[in-house]
Structure 1
Amino acid sequence: MRRTLLGRSVTVARLSRSAARWWAWLGRHPDVTDTVLALFLLALAVPRLGFIGVGARWPPDTVAVLLVVAGTAPLALRRRRPATVLAVVSLVTVLHRPLTGTAVPDFLAVLIAVWTVGALCPPAVARTANGVALVVVPTALLPGLDVAHPEEVLRNYVLFAIVWALGNQHRRGAEARVAAVREREARLNQQRESLVREAAAAERLRLARDLHDVVAHHVTLMVVQADTTRRGEASTLSPRTARTLESVCATGRQAMTEMRRLLAVIDVTPTPQPVLDVDLAGLLDRTRAAGLSVDLRTRGVPVPLPPTVAAPAYRVVQEALTNALRHAGPQARVGLTLAYDPGRLTIRVVDEPAVPGPRPADPGVGRGLAGMRDRVTQLGGTVRTGPTPPGGFEVVAHLPLPATPDGDAGHG
């Protein structure tokens, strides 16, 4: 019994998968779908002409056969020329009784054409085409109806109006879905650009501060030492040495002036640096809004971070998320783990692209990750980066935490 049920369930699952594959294939080939639809309607209409089956008449009415073919075959082009197809099948339906003297076998092809016009044509075209069809076609069918029963007369008009309304509703729904997708794409692009600009601005700020704090500091020391030597030992220096020291001082001061001009061009605004403790939530919100699915996990007991660690830690997370957004795509999944261990903070960021496969370029050679390594190395930490299967990327940074007087890392 169990084997029978299991075998049936497997068969049903296989049939479902086969049907799903065929349905998807037909969705990718609308012309084939429409051709099959036209042939199906033709197969339904031909037997009603009376030359097949019991009481068949032979030879068949050639005009009737041609009209049936002309009233169904155009449906193969209904998505390419919806208004034209509606005009052809409507005309064939109107001419059927005058040319053959018999009632129209059915007008299902006209209803399908009406729905297609309402669903695919612009509103103005749909109103014109379907309005004409709504008036002309049901009116042409009146001689075949029993006018003594008004419901039969109104039935066709109501049916045409309902099909038109359904097609129009389908068009509105499709337009709304397209607009929603475009709006979401625009929002994601804006969020990605914002993250990229933020990362670029942060890197530019770091470079400018390095120029100001490191280079300017050493140049200033050089100028001060040279000037002190020139003035303090003027009596013992040879004229050539004194001129050399004076030239060193002038060159150093000129270098400082040029550096100030360069920093002014960079236009660095002395804004507070974002830190991991306070600004991580906002960074994750912006990243998730850009399309990444970020899962934050914390191990250990979080402790307040000193500014010397909190700011670089934030930049590590920011650069890793930006790298994932660039290379893994907006639909990727990202795991962010913050591990608070005694004397060390470990940041691990692993992305899983939505479409597994090799990356278009090795993200490890970018300036962002190089800048990340520089920040962490200056603190005495380490950074490890590399690919993960299938097609993901991992960033692991270990940042040392200073010990407090009671022996714990961080400070309160």
Structure 2
Amino acid sequence: MVLLPVPLIWRRRAPVSVFAATTGLFVVAQAIGAQSPAALVVTLTALYAVARYRPARFAWPAAAVTVLPGFGNRIEDGPAWGAFVAVSAITVTVVLVGVNQRTRSAYLAALEDRAERLEQDRDQRARLAVADERARVAREMHDVVAHHLAVIVALSDGAAATTAVAPERAADVMGQVSATGRQALGEMRRLVGLLRGASAPEAGTRAPQPGLDDIDALVDRVRAAGVRVTLRRDGVPGDWGPGAGLAVYRIVQEALTNTLKHAGPHAAAEVSLCYRAAGADVTVLDDGAGRAARPPEPSDRHGLAGMAERVTAYGGRLRAGPRHGPGWQVHATLTFDRTEPT
């Protein structure tokens, strides 16, 4: 009787072995005539451990091992079935409680695992969203800084070259430099406001993103820097939303900026905008100021990568590279609908 409950110490780790040990000790105790009400309690505790920590295929055979000896004794001793029925009912109840607890624990573990996976997925989505937003802001910053600085540098060079012979012309050019710098500063403040959030003081004074209607002003700035730009439009733009207009604007801006940086202010460029019902074709060609263009170095492809990302966002195609002869060409095919890309 003293040894009988000792195996219960390991009931969580090895419930089947513990049940076998307690059952064996119980049989030995019965054989030598040792009697105690605790004997059945110990056996039922070991049976509960089997049902609680092992699958049901282990629990019900263990329950049969507990009940069947009593059934045999009732056959030998006579028709006193009350105690047998009571013990059998308690045994089945113990097994059912153990199986229910095991099922509940498995269900709770599955819920916890699902909640953890959902939390990880949420965090991953949040990180991806932050990375996408950073890439978008970096792309906008590159477009704004590269374009306006290229225009400012070209205008400053022109002003320096004309100061001695035409001071009035130089003063007018420097006024354009100032206006371009103010515009760049305004766009930079707007982007910084986006990074700070809606509560930033500048939020109420932000200008809208540039679009199709701003391409004429863009072309005029590049013309003022010295590049001879021809703008041609075919078709009528659809109701595509501000994102589509921004994509077209930035593609034209980046292409003209590259013309200004690499071909110089004495180059000529042609911008063609062909609007279709489902999208637009954007083509920018320059003559390279009579020089053959070379593919850019991998470290100097940020502008091309930004254009490719904008085109890909609308399921389009981008071709950019040297022309047959002098100059560079950019051709983008974009597909729009009423839904902005995610």
| Relative contact order higher in (CA < 8 Å, ≥ 6 apart) | 2
**TM-score bucket of the superposed structures, by smaller chain:** 0.3 to 0.5
TM-score computed with the length of structure 1 as normaliser: 0.39
TM-score computed with the length of structure 2 as normaliser: 0.46
